[in-house]
Structure 1
Amino acid sequence: MSGTFPLVFSITSGKGGVGKTNLSVNLALCLARLGKRVVLIDADLGLANVDVLLGLTPQKNLFHLFHEGASLQDILFPTPYGFSILPASSGMSEMLTLSTGQKLELLEAVGELEDDLDYLIVDTGAGLSDNVLYFNLAVQERLVVLTPEPTSLTDAYALIKVLKLTHGVEHFKVCVNMSPDLKTAKGMFLRLHQACEHFLSGVSLDLAGVFPRDTGVRKAVVQQLPFCVSDPEGPASRAVLQLANAITEWEAPASLDGNIKFFWKKLLFR
């Protein structure tokens, strides 16, 4: 990866249930296997489940950073898979909307990581909440995940529309998950592309990955293991590794304007 600073990207969706968190976990694992230093933030702050998917039980999470004075190092939790997570809390209504002060606090905390990091992956919540929009603005790249369903397509378009019209975001990468075949996935991407081209002038979309429907994925969830561990040769595992290799070719920021702090700060002082 070229450049001095970490690459910060979100994995996001307009709709829940599209496999976004599962993709985040396995992508973090694959990047770590490629020798990269990776931290995954569970940014679905009120309905966190990264730790559940991994079968881990961190003692502290982002709730403790905001409400109990914990430090980032208290919260940062190494996984057995070569990457670390910043876990969030589940069922905590206080976490559903961050105050400006909390955003500053998170900015300062995450800024500590930048010298020891190649990739910061932000697994956002689904939908159009303040937190989802906030985290999608705080990154350099956005991976929008959808499935071959009309509601998923509609909600992905809604997320892109809000980020474009309200915040001027124009570049998105798209992943189609749980696709029965490549033709179906490309058809979904084409429909999303056509809608954006017709109604959202200036938006550019790239098809970054296609992930096949794979029975091994559901089995891995039940086992609380990454599917890249439980079935490393499965079709979903091969597809995620292919995306991880592609991500290592993405351009990392090479100037101070590209560091983590800049991308958090620009939101707070717009």
Structure 2
Amino acid sequence: MSAVKVIAVSSGKGGVGKTNVSVNLACQLARRGRRVLLMDADLGLANVDIMLGLRPKWNLSHVLNGECQIRDILMTGPNGISIIPAASGIKKMAELGAESHGAIVRALSELDEDYDALIVDTAAGISDSVITFSQASQYVLVVVTDELTSMADAYALIKVMNRDAGISRFKILRNMVDSTEQARDGFERLNEVAQRFLDVTLEYAGFIPRDRFLVKADASQKAVSELFPGCDASLAFRKLAETVDKWPLPKGPSGNIEFFVDRMLKSDEQSGATA
């Protein structure tokens, strides 16, 4: 069994295009031949299925209730990506405790399929689920726009994840910007404050430009990478996928509760046996 690259896509606030990033990153990784699993981890306010016009019969709430297995809720999305849908409008799902979040993480290990990448579209903000799922990932990709509230909330998110989950490295993706200079400038401003007050490392992951074709794709309930593959946003998502592909695979569990932890342990044992 191969190790899986797990990326949590997070944001300090809603409305910054986080789910769009998750969906299109998954699509572009699949275009590169990667086997991709996209998990909607906004447990009570699911967005992935709505964005792609999917109508799931089962979702994570049914798995937690014992009505089905996690493999039973898998759906196929654009470019052949596999999708784990969450519930929408179920208050108790948004208020789950750490035990239930841990059960979801462990359930992922039961999947028989081999995946190269798991994209976890977390809820916005600093809820317990965001911290748990980010801690269970190898990479945390924080989506930030140029709005002052987005920058401030991204800083708060990074601070809480560092303090409460011990996460010290973050990838920063600038979204809905008008130029390379604007993207870089916003990253440098956030990085300067983080370096001054926090013991963390921020790494620039690139940017997605403001693009009217994104709005058109959303209205059509399609991924822009699928509907308008040649537009500026799609090309930027393709570049992001190339960047993500270069991030090194994990060599083994870090000690935190992790997605695919059983699979990673087996991978470690196999590599040790052949060393």
CA distance in 2 between partners of 1:218 and 1:41 (Å): 23
Any idea what SS the aligned residue of 2:7 has? Answer: strand
Residue matched to 2:202? 205
Residue matched to 1:214? 211
CA distance in 2 between partners of 1:79 and 1:22 (Å): 14
How far is 1:123 from its partner? 0.2
How far is 1:115 from its partner? 5.5
CA contact (8 A) 1:4 1:253 kept: no
Q: What does 1:53-132 correspond to in 2, within 5 Å?
A: 53-113=51-111, 116-132=114-130
Q: Are positions 1:29 and 2:11 aligned together?
A: no
Match of 2:42 among 33, 39, 44: 44
CA distance in 1 between partners of 2:77 and 2:69 (Å): 18
Opposite residue 253 of structure 1, the aligned amino acid is P
How far is 1:81 from its partner? 2.2
Which blocks of at least 5 consecutive residues in structure 2 are unaligned? 263-275
**Cα distance 1:256–1:173, how it changes in 2: closer, same or farther (>3 A)?**
closer
Q: Are positions 1:242 and 2:262 aligned together?
A: no
CA distance in 2 between partners of 1:168 and 1:107 (Å): 18
Any idea what SS the aligned residue of 1:73 has? Answer: helix
CA distance in 2 between partners of 1:128 and 1:147 (Å): 17
RMSD: 2.0
Residue matched to 2:154? 156
CA contact (8 A) 2:27 2:78 kept: no
Offset from partner CA, 1:156-211 (integer Å, 9 cap, x none): 0000001112222110000000001111111110110011011003x111110211
Offset from partner CA, 1:9-37 (integer Å, 9 cap, x none): 11100010000001111110111111111
Opposite residue 196 of structure 1, the aligned amino acid is A
Residue matched to 2:16? 18
**Cα distance 1:109–1:166, how it changes in 2: closer, same or farther (>3 A)?**
closer
CA distance in 1 between partners of 2:99 and 2:11 (Å): 26
CA contact (8 A) 1:43 1:125 kept: yes
CA contact (8 A) 2:98 2:128 kept: no
Any idea what SS the aligned residue of 1:9 has? Answer: strand
- Count of aligned residue pairs for this structure pair: 262
Residue matched to 1:262? 261
| More off after superposition, 160-169 vs 190-199 | 160-169
Opposite residue 245 of structure 1, the aligned amino acid is E
CA distance in 2 between partners of 1:168 and 1:114 (Å): 30
How far is 1:242 from its partner? 0.5
Any idea what SS the aligned residue of 2:246 has? Answer: coil
CA distance in 1 between partners of 2:159 and 2:176 (Å): 24
Residue matched to 1:268? none
Any idea what SS the aligned residue of 2:80 has? Answer: coil
CA contact (8 A) 2:214 2:233 kept: yes
Residue matched to 2:6? 8
| More off after superposition, 68-77 vs 102-111 | 102-111
Match of 1:192 among 166, 186, 190: 190
Match of 1:175 among 170, 173, 176: 173
Any idea what SS the aligned residue of 2:164 has? Answer: helix
Opposite residue 214 of structure 2, the aligned amino acid is V
**Cα distance 1:108–1:50, how it changes in 2: closer, same or farther (>3 A)?**
same
What's the TM-score, normalizing by structure 1?
0.92
Offset from partner CA, 1:133-161 (integer Å, 9 cap, x none): 11111100000001011100000000000
CA contact (8 A) 1:6 1:114 kept: no
CA contact (8 A) 1:4 1:254 kept: no
